[in-house]
Structure 1
Amino acid sequence: MNVYEEIGLKRVVNASGRMTILGVSTLSDEVAQAAIAGGQSYVVIEDLIDKAGEIISRYTGGEDSCVTSSASAAICLTIAGLITKGNKVLMDRLPNSDGLANEIVIQKGHSVHYGAPMPTMIRLGGGVPVEAGTANEVVPEDIEGAITDKTVALFYVKSHHCVQKGMVSLEVMRDIAHRHGLPLMVDAAAEEDFRKYIALGADLVVYSGAKALEATTSGFVTGKKQYIDWVKKQYHGIGRPMKIGKEGIMGLLKALERYENKDHEKEVRENREKVRYLCEEIGKIPGLKAQEIQDEAGRAIYRARVTLDPAVEIGCTMEEINRQLRQGNPSIYARTEFLNLGKIDFDPRPMVEGDKELIVKRLKEIIGG
């Protein structure tokens, strides 16, 4: 029995991925111990933020970094920093940025809902989102045409939530931004390569701590030192309710250290073995079909996609199957971005021993009536 069952909640089988609605990830003993140790001593928080930024930058290649309470907070604070440039009088006005250069150019296909609307995160930092192009096609001229004397940054979102076709590449966005003397900001919250986007020439890159890193609830932005200095100052203004505690920072630093030393290729192989098991066993259930798919954003993440077999009548829809998976005990959460198209996906990464067998058993029960 886990701690959530002890307070009367159902156990959850997370077959969805590193999702905020399920608590994102779980902590290793090392990360948990680092967080506990961090919480048991005092420290000057500004000194810790500076030191954490120095350490994080060793793993990213950025000139400096600023730790935050989440990737969403990092987006807000970064935009606030770019608008105010660390000016106290302007910081005290936020989120009211009327009359200031405050526009953030984002491709329309990147203006997504990832659990909250991306435009809301931009506005929380005092920014005004300016969507370029259309939902399924953006060309460089759209980006160029959206830039005005009020533009403070171009914003590229790297996410499976985004439209994956017809968008302007990060490299082209970078070149347009720099040609206009503007920074390129990248949301790479769930990405697994913490050096890639700085190496590609992005000026500011946002990451989640709790997703790929499996750290404490946290995030960070890494990049050019001048911009990072402006971000850090926001903790004396709009960043106050977004502050991260000392225990969260220490957990993040330990997670970065562990991540650097992980055998990522081995993890991928093990996860694909789970996917193969699920596909084989679910494929044996009359009325269901399963196949291996890769993450929409191109990451080395593989999942088992389940659909109904049109040749077999089972008397229920995929929506009903998903509902019953969630209503059972334990509650099984599949990935449901394509549920409206009759598809659910099982992500092996968060699964613990026995989960994949339990999923197959429960599907057999549901289909068997």
Structure 2
Amino acid sequence: MKRREIIKQLGVIPLAGSLMASDSMLGAVWKNPAPLAAKPYTRNQNIYESLGIETIINCRGTFTILGGSTERPEVLEAMEAASGYFVQYDELAFGIGRRLAELTKAEWGMISAGCAAGMKHVTAACVTGGNPEKLIRIPHIGDFEKNEVIIPRSSRNVYDHAIRNIGVKIITVDTPEELKQAINPRTAMIYIMTGPDNETGKPLSLEVIGKMAKPGNIPVLADAAAEDLSIPCVHLERGATVVAYSGGKAICGPQCAGLLLGNKDLLMAAWQASSPHHGPGRDNKIGKEEMLGMLAAVEAWTTRDHDKEWNTWLGWLDEISSKLTRINGITSEITTPTGLNNRAPRLILKWDPDKLHIRGEEVAEEVARNKPRVAIGAQSKDNGTSISITPSQMRPGNAKLVADRLYNVLSGKREPRSDEMTPAKENISGHWEADVEFFTGKSTHKFFLEQDKNWISGTHTSEYAMQEMIGMIEGNEVVLKSNYRVPGNSINFWFIGKVADGEITGSVFLGEYLTARFGAKKVSYRQNRKKLNVPGGPPLAT
């Protein structure tokens, strides 16, 4: 099998605009860029450079790992104005709730320490009903009258950890019939992530869910974290009880703040479950500065010239596209989302990798790791490769820098790469036991591998599951990949190492969970070649 086919089978490490299975298989090992020289911070310099950290031009959007969104000037002014004073937090929350209701036309509003924290507080409110004696028993809620949360399978996601943290039992459903059967006296809440799967007219639309929940007075929590804020809130009108937004997404408030809108009584119980009150939400502390900064972001949302912002974004994309399409073979298109989620235009630049001798993932890797650093999206398919640019978090002046940076990479002269792989020096077929060392713990994993020249397939038994494994070997360099998946979550394991003296040693790249080390040895089975006699029937004695 040729290199390109194997790399296509292995796929690309799913980390936005960062890593890939490159020509050197050990190139997939995660590396930090070389740090800058750290020095004491002065007001005349970039504060991040004082720590030896290089900043990044964000052409990806409102990703938390990049810092979310840029806070608006009104937000920074409000946060500064809030500092230096003392205030009783319950009085502050009540005043903010009332003001949010006026601004958004919702019954009430609350600000939490991020969207996920808000989801956690609402779940606590649903299982306790505002009873503090129950509140302080969380997560030991097995004997509570209400301790189950229903989630459509299409809404299971990595953020529903915030709901599970309360100790509830998750009931996953696929159809309206299953939802009807799942609703019972112990149902505390129904949770959905807004999007195409619950649009009007779908089997489990928000309208359908809300109608089923109403007879039992079951709250419906809608997670609209990355959406534009609609006034009045469309999801409340469709049947949600509370809607949760992220402050660090489209609203451009503090990254560590979230916005909850909806039923006043439920939000008062959610506030009771959050800091500054002691209980399961104390660890999600929100400061007065972030609370007033988030309120200022909502105020600004109601007065912002959204059409002007959109046209500015289109102008930046046009500047980038105009320069890059001068390169022979590069075409461009702008896509526009139809819904409220991550609502921003996106520039897609496409080309034939056989003509430019570079793939989109390689471009993304180059600009992500080397100065000036730029975060972009990338994708390769059978009919070509592409990079994508989202302008919503770009700053004035970024467009020229990005256009020049990408032009220099894509217009560079490159020799066609050989498609053939270096023959394997080792055969790693068989059963292996791998000792994986994390930051402070260890785990034993098992591989059962079959090798066909450079191609490897088999199974990977991690600590809690077994999953398929694929990989490749060139010389004595090995890459093995598997994916551990549970509802709402997945972990990609990339074992990257070398074979020597009957052992495989190297690194385990874990995506957002950083890296581990591993060492694997082949398992030898004790030979016991005795003929097996099959019983002819049930035993006559035991």
Distance (Å, rounded) in 2 between the aligned partners of 1:301 and 1:233: 36
Distance (Å, rounded) in 2 between the aligned partners of 1:142 and 1:306: 43
Letter in 2 for 1:127: V
Question: Structure 1 residue 188: deviation in Å?
Answer: 1.0
Question: Structure 1 residue 159: deviation in Å?
Answer: 5.0
Q: Which residue of 2 is the match for residue 348 of structure 1?
A: 391
Question: Structure 1 residue 71: deviation in Å?
Answer: 0.4
Specify the structure having the higher radius of gyration (Cα). 2
* CA offsets 1:292-322 (integer angstroms, 9 cap, x no match): 1123745542111233336x52222222111
* CA offsets 1:169-215 (integer angstroms, 9 cap, x no match): 22222222214431211111121124222233321111112212211
1:225 is the counterpart of 2:264: yes
Which structure has the higher relative contact order (CA within 8 Å, separation 6+)? 1
Distance (Å, rounded) in 1 between the aligned partners of 2:244 and 2:50: 36
Letter in 2 for 1:175: K
Q: Which residue of 2 is the match for residue 281 of structure 1?
A: 323
Q: Which runs of 5+ in 1 are unaligned?
A: 134-138
Distance (Å, rounded) in 2 between the aligned partners of 1:263 and 1:102: 44
Question: Structure 1 residue 222: deviation in Å?
Answer: 1.6
Sort the Cα spacing of 1:26 and 1:360 in 2 relative to 1 into closer, same or farther, 3 A.
Answer: same
Sort the Cα spacing of 1:146 and 1:75 in 2 relative to 1 into closer, same or farther, 3 A.
Answer: same
Q: Which residue of 2 is the match for residue 129 of structure 1?
A: 170
Q: Which residue of 2 is the match for residue 291 of structure 1?
A: 333
Q: Which residue of 2 is the match for residue 212 of structure 1?
A: 250
Distance (Å, rounded) in 2 between the aligned partners of 1:298 and 1:343: 25
Q: Which residue of 2 is the match for residue 6 of structure 1?
A: 50
Question: Structure 1 residue 264: deviation in Å?
Answer: 1.1
CA contact (8 A) 2:223 2:245 kept: yes
Distance (Å, rounded) in 2 between the aligned partners of 1:234 and 1:270: 42
CA contact (8 A) 2:206 2:239 kept: no
Q: Which residue of 2 is the match for residue 309 of structure 1?
A: 352
Question: Structure 1 residue 245: deviation in Å?
Answer: 0.4
CA contact (8 A) 1:74 1:220 kept: yes
Question: Structure 1 residue 343: deviation in Å?
Answer: 4.5
Q: Which residue of 1 is the match for residue 442 of structure 2?
A: none
Distance (Å, rounded) in 2 between the aligned partners of 1:14 and 1:163: 30
CA contact (8 A) 1:61 1:198 kept: no
CA contact (8 A) 2:247 2:257 kept: yes
CA contact (8 A) 1:103 1:150 kept: yes
- 3-state DSSP of counterpart to 1:17: coil
Q: Which residue of 1 is the match for residue 160 of structure 2?
A: 119
Sort the Cα spacing of 1:141 and 1:272 in 2 relative to 1 into closer, same or farther, 3 A.
Answer: farther
In proportion to residue count, which structure has more helix? 1
Distance (Å, rounded) in 1 between the aligned partners of 2:294 and 2:154: 31
Q: Which residue of 1 is the match for residue 120 of structure 2?
A: 76
CA contact (8 A) 2:198 2:204 kept: no
Sort the Cα spacing of 1:179 and 1:276 in 2 relative to 1 into closer, same or farther, 3 A.
Answer: farther
Q: Which residue of 2 is the match for residue 136 of structure 1?
A: none
Q: Which residue of 2 is the match for residue 61 of structure 1?
A: 105
- 3-state DSSP of counterpart to 1:174: helix
CA contact (8 A) 1:280 1:290 kept: no
Sort the Cα spacing of 1:150 and 1:308 in 2 relative to 1 into closer, same or farther, 3 A.
Answer: farther
* CA offsets 1:218-276 (integer angstroms, 9 cap, x no match): 11212112211210110231110102001111111222211111111221222223233
Letter in 2 for 1:262: R
CA contact (8 A) 2:98 2:109 kept: yes
% of aligned pairs identical?
A: 26
- 3-state DSSP of counterpart to 2:76: helix
- 3-state DSSP of counterpart to 1:276: helix
**If the length of structure 2 is used for normalisation, what is the TM-score?**
0.62
Q: Which runs of 5+ in 2 are unaligned?
A: 1-44, 414-542
* CA offsets 1:26-69 (integer angstroms, 9 cap, x no match): 22333212101212111111111111111112222222222101
In proportion to residue count, which structure has more strand? 2
Question: Structure 1 residue 280: deviation in Å?
Answer: 3.6
Distance (Å, rounded) in 2 between the aligned partners of 1:140 and 1:224: 25
Question: Structure 1 residue 2: deviation in Å?
Answer: 2.7
CA contact (8 A) 2:198 2:206 kept: no
